[in-house]
Amino acid sequence: MSTGPEASTATTSDKATKAQAEKQKKVASALVRYRVLAWITGLWLLFLTGEMVYKYLILENSADAPSWLFYIGQIHGLFYMLYLVFTVDLAIKARWKSGTTVATALAGTIPFLSFVFEHKRTIQVKSDYNL
């Protein structure tokens, strides 16, 4: 058993490798959660957009719309709040700048943009953390 500088260097190197592996694992799991919520939020936003088009452009009177359409907006809102939580979680773990975080968070409010940002952020995070 070596007790010289070589042993100290090996121990430090092992600790750094383990810390890096743990960081990658945390970022990878945050990325999966973010990606799932980005897709769910994007799909519900498309449903909401279709509901708005139907309700306000196709129907002559929006009061004639089925009452269950009300729930589409509620569901999208719920998923958007979860999307925000998971976006911030990933932003903290991936150490994003505030502008990147805000732009990514706002992507869940514009139809199709959450899909575009999900793709961009996935490529970025995978590249930055060798995932």
CB 34 within 8 A of CB 118: yes
Higher pLDDT, 75 or 61: 75
pLDDT in tens, 25-45: 999 999 999 999 999 999 999
3 vs 28, residue with greater confidence = 28
Whether 110 shows a pLDDT value over 60: the answer reads yes
Residue 97 has pLDDT above 90, yes or no: yes
Tokens describing residue 90: 């990933």
What is the distance between the alpha carbons of residues 5 and 62, in angstroms, rounded to a whole number? Answer: 77
pLDDT at 20: 84
CA angle 42, 79, 61 (to 5 degrees): 75
The percentage of the chain sitting over the pLDDT mark of 90, rounded to a whole number, equals 68
pTM of the model: 0.83
